[in-house]
Structures are given as C-alpha cells and as structure tokens.
Structure 1
C-alpha cells in the first residue's frame, strides 16, 4: 500500500557551540552534559510534537497539521524551551563545582531552532517512525544558515516563510533573510532573537492575581501536561468548546505585536466582553482583564506540572469602588453561576484528555525507538 502524504511541521532543535565544546572538553563529562540537555529538550517539546530522532547534538521532531491547529503554539513551545534552557543553564553554571573544562564551559552552549512546514510521508525505518521527503531535507539544510553572521545572534528560531505564513503570525523585531541551497534554490526565512526574549522575560515584572488577592479561586487537575492545557485555554476556537452551556464565542480582536501577548485583545461576541491580556507566560500563567461596562474582572490562570499532568489554578479579582465584601460576592456569582467554572473545567478535561491520548498513541512507536529517553517521556506523560 502506498504511504499517505501528510502535511505538517518539521522542527529541529540544535545545541549551538557543541562542536567547539567537545573539542575543548574532557570526554568523560561532555556526554553527560549533552545527555542532560537532550533529555531536557525532549521533555520541553513533547508531546505537542513527536520525537522522530536524536541526531547527535540535535533533536528532530514533527507534528501533522491536524495536531497543531493553532500555529502560534509552535512559537510558544520553542520560546518557552529556550527560556527554560537559559534558566536551567544558569542554575547548572552556578552549581558546578567540577573543575574539568566540560563542566566549566557549559555557559558557552546555546540553542537554535529551525521550523519548516511542508509535505512528508511517515515511514517506519529501523524501528523508528520518521517523516521523510523533500520538506524534511530542506529543514535539515536550514540548520546551515547565515543568521548568526548577519545578526550576531547565537540563540534564535528560524522559520521558513512558508511555515510562518501557515502559522498565521507576524511577530515584531525579527530578521528577514534568504538562504540558498542546491536543489532548493532561494528560501525566504524569518528569524527571532531568543536572547532578547529571554532578557525581556526575566526583566519584566509579573502581573497576576495572587491567592491572597483573589475574590474566588478554582483549582483543577488535568491529565494532560501544561502545553496541551495551555493551548485549550488560550486558543479562542478551543475555548468555545469547553465553556459550560455553550455561553462563549471568543474571537481574536487585536494582536498589535503580531502574536498573542500583552496588549492583545479577544472579544466574546455572546457576552460582549473585551479581554485585555496583561501578562503572558506560555505554559506557566496568563493574566487578563475582562471588561464590559462597570464590570472589570482581573483573572489569572496558573499552570503547574504535576505527575505528568497539570494542576491549574484560576483566580478572579473584581476591580471597582464597591466594598470588597460586595465585590467578593459578585465574583463568586460570576465564577460559579455565570461561567460555571467547575463544569467548564470538567469539559476541558474531557476534551484535552482525548486530544492528549491521541498524541500519546501517535508517539508511542517513537518513544519505544529511543530507550535512552523512555524514562524522560514516561515521567512527562
């Protein structure tokens, strides 16, 4: 039977500076450093993406387009992975006591990502399920690019313009360029400086409703890990599916930075609420203000990984001049009677769990093919 051609995303995560790191390091500890980073990246990028192969100091992952319905999730995945890598690297560097060159030069390592969209065929080769095809070949060619020479960036993500158009985003502060390869010709690309994103993330003050400030809090444990739950919480189309009583009809209103983030707005056409995004930390927490007339509800949704799933905390504080006791009563009415948060989150669990089990089923062969990553994946799932 002829293999079915599919469309989807191909992602490569490459450890920058690893060749020089190996050349200048003792062999005893260098593989341990590599193994730690590979396991870390695998946990960060799956299960929203499927692991196809560990290629030395790089990861090769993919997702069919029916799995990634909100293209912006890809940018959030690689951005979050990079930020967490930098935080993890900073901790490693601080805690290292070994005097060997491998351990002392961890701080020189960085990450770059390449993401392409195209057609491929999934085939089982030597026990591993991998996408093959011209698009896969091009994604690997794009690892050899001129972004660092043109910009001076070491940590970045490179999207083919075919990919970024499919994702439906137009982020700010980017680099536009073109790469040329034999058999492919000129390929237009867009790159984002992740060092800048990391510095912004760590420098910006947090804006969220604390437990002490909340008028009402709702907590829920989900089967799926934070990236999956985040996507169901933040994708307007998916949000509309889990609100109890089909009360919500959220649509995108404004994306001034070309993507979801602070100053972005959504609109619920059923209730006429405008949602203003105040703080946006993918897979960790978001804070929004939902406004209509005199109602100004500040909401924080916080996600914590727990036993492979997600512990979710939803907190609401009503802003206004009325006495806090009155605002607290109104907040509880909104949470439990209007939004029916307990029932709504139960619906979210059913939908996200079904979605997550599909991810697991699709990726099981890939996990089995990488026994060195089995423990990481098992803990993640």
Structure 2
C-alpha cells in the first residue's frame, strides 16, 4: 500500500489566549487564522477535521516532493504571520483578544505512513496507528512553539538530509518516546523575520481640515470598551441603527481598519469601509466611510472617552464631503436636517438597547 501524508498546522498559545482574553473576539481571531491556513493549501490536501486550534489535513497515497512539501510549509507560515501583522496594524478594538493576537504562533507537524479509514455519519475519516502517531508528535520536547516538524518517515521518503539548511530552514534531529515507541524527527524553528510577508492595504487615516457638519454626544453607563463592542459588532446594529433594513457583513471577522459592511436602506445598498482619524490618547475612535451617497462621500465617526465610574461619553461626528456647489447646497438642505434626526434617533435607540441588555 502506498504511503499517505498527514499534515497538521496547530496554533500555539491558543489555550492561554482563549482563557485570558475576551471569548467572542478570541473565537473570531482563531476562526480567521484557521481560514487563512485552509486557503494557503497549495498541495490539494484534504481537510479531515478542524480540531479546535488545529487543522488535520491528509493526502491519500501520495507524498509531495521535498521541494513542494517545504514550499507548502513556508506558504502556511507566511499566510499565518501576514494575517497576524494585518490584525496588529489595522486593529480598532483595544480588548485583550485583539491586542494579544500577534503573540500567537504556529507549529506544523508532518508524518506519513499507511492510512486506513472509517466512515462516521457518511463521512470518510483517516484512522489508524499513523494518525495516532501524528497527533502525538504535537506533544514533543521541542522548546519552541514556532516550528516545522517532519517525522523520520517523511524525511526519508522525500530525501531530506538531517543537516538540511536554507534561508528559512535549519533542521535538527531529535526524538521522543510515545508508549515505549521511539519516534525520530527533524525540526526547524521558523523565524517570521525570514518570511516574505504578504503586503496589505495601508489603513485610511482621515485628516479633516474642517469641523464636522454634525456633532452629537451622549453619556452611557457602561465602560468604553463595551460600548465600542456594541458599535463595531454588526450583529448588534439592527437593535439600534435607525432606518436600516438589513446589515451584511462577515460574522467570523473582527472589525478592523479596512473591513467592509453593507447597510440596506429602502432597498439601496450602502457600502461602508472602516477608517480612522487622529485622536487623543484617552479616546477610542471608530469610523466609517461610504461613497454610495448623492454627495462625494460621507464619513461617520464614533469617538468614545472613558468617564469615572465605568461610564463613557460617546461623540458622533458626521463629515460630508462634496466637490460641487450643487452638492454643497444639498448638504445644507439635507444632511443637517435628515441625517441629524436619524443619528439622534439611533443614539436614543443605542442607549435603550444598552440599558435593556444590562438588565437582561
């Protein structure tokens, strides 16, 4: 029987991350990272299982070449750390989950052997001793939490020398004993500084040369970070946003600079992009921009400042942008009246929602 490949990317630091951060945002972060790893699959690996913080891939009756396998490992490390850099640089939320996400690391374990299968709920799943060994290799004596591990069976199959070195890889031999069976493996720590991380769009930081057209303020009897969650988590928007029929967004994504969502108002789709502007150190800023309006663009900023006693002050600033005299007249006649009324109603709804949620 031909050998099959077992390939397990495992996010290091997951247990500590979840236990010591806000649960919902930590779940979103891990979900995003797992999606990134799945999308980085270049070798047509089959996904057998999502195992919490890990992915269990396999390739039946085939072992990729040394070049392809090492390239696959590098691709996943590159995608993983590129996304962590994106989360770090474009972060809006100050919660522990979003702030400590860049501390997560990745390890990849690769094994091979004769693979058996069982069928569970009409789904064919890898089974057997080689599967057990692959998962036990995750519990090894390597001090680092950021490495690629190839079992001796894999390294011999692809012809990987014990002393193999490249710009990224510096393999060393080690071994561990599992249930009296000794398994030898090669491992290489991976330096993210040697990865060519994927560039991402620089977030838009708006610098207005004028005062906002509309300014509304309201105090809330909750901490600033909690109010930010009610505003930036779009699953809450329908509870308080005035006049919006539907919100469309990625529910598995933490809102950050550059993320997008859609507001459907009277059948018209308004596309919004998250932006920011300069603020004081004691302020949290979340901004949205849309160009799907009769004028050139409309910016809406939520500026939250902490107050004593677990309270906060929310200031909403509206900046309409126009290029023509006609549009400027529209701003004066429409924005000042209609938008102010809508925003004020939304803030009243938000206050009522916060109060009712606290009681519940």
- Normalised to the residue count of structure 1, the TM-score between the two structures is 0.48
Matching of residue 156 in structure 1 with residue 147 in structure 2: yes
- 1:140 matched residue in structure 2: 135
Give the Cα–Cα distance (whole angstroms) in 1 for the partners of residues 117 and 141 of structure 2: 30
Q: Deviations over 1:155-194 (max 9, x none)?
A: 11111111111012222222211111115x1111100111
1:199 aligned residue (193, 200, 204): 193
SS in 2 for 1:143: coil
- The aligned residue for residue 271 of structure 2 is none
Query: Given the alignment of the two structures, is residue 117 of structure 1 paired with residue 112 of structure 2, yes or no?
Result: yes
Tell me the residue number matched to 2:18. Answer: 22
Check conservation: 2:60, 2:115, Cα contact below 8 A: no
Secondary structure at the aligned position of 2:24 is classed as: coil
Q: Does the 8 Å CA contact 2:43/2:72 hold for their aligned counterparts? A: no
Work out the number of aligned pairs and report it: 191
Q: Secondary structure at the match of 2:115?
A: strand
CA–CA distance in structure 1, aligned partners of residues 136 and 9 of structure 2: 13
Aligned-residue offset at 1:69? 4.5
Greater C-alpha Rg: 2
Indicate conservation of the 8 Å contact 2:37/2:79, yes or no.
no
Question: Which of 114, 124, 128 is the aligned partner of 1:129?
Answer: 124
Q: Is the 8 A contact 1:15 1:111 kept in 2?
A: yes
Match of 2:173 in 1: 176
Q: Could you say which structure has the greater relative contact order, defined with CA pairs below 8 angstroms and 6 or more residues apart? A: 1
Corresponding residue SS for 1:28:
helix
Partner of 2:114, secondary structure, is strand
Ranges in structure 2 where 5+ consecutive residues have no aligned partner: 198-360
Instruction: Give the match for residue 359 of structure 1.
Output: none
Task: Label 1:105 to 1:127 Cα distance change in 2 as closer, same or farther (>3 A).
Answer: farther
- The answer to whether the 8 Å contact 2:109/2:134 transfers is yes
RMSD (Å), alpha carbons: 1.8
Alignment of structure 1 residues 276-355 onto 2, 5 Å: none
Identify the residue that residue 86 of structure 1 maps to in structure 2: 81
Conservation of the 8 A alpha-carbon contact between 2:48 and 2:56: yes
CA displacement, residues 173-221 of structure 1 (integer Å, 9 cap, x when unaligned):
22211111115x11111001111xx323449xxxxxxxxxxxxxxxxxx
Deviation at 1:15, TM superposition (A): 0.3
Q: Is 1:48 aligned to residue 44 of structure 2?
A: yes
Tell me the distance in 1 between the aligned counterparts of 2:76 and 2:111.
18
Q: Please, what TM-score do these two structures have when normalized by structure 2?
A: 0.51
User: Do structure 1's residue 108 and structure 2's residue 108 form an aligned pair?
Assistant: no
Displacement of 1:46: 5.4
Structure 1 counterpart of 2:56? 60
Residue in structure 1 matching 2:33, options 37, 41, 44: 37
Which of 185, 188, 194 is the aligned partner of 2:184? 188
| SS class of match (1:146) | coil
Structure 1 stretches (4+) deviating beyond 3 angstroms? none
SS at match of 1:97: coil
After the TM superposition, which of the residue ranges 68-77 and 54-63 deviates more from structure 2? 68-77
Indicate the structure with greater helix content: 1
Distance in 1 between the 2:2 and 2:116 partners? 6
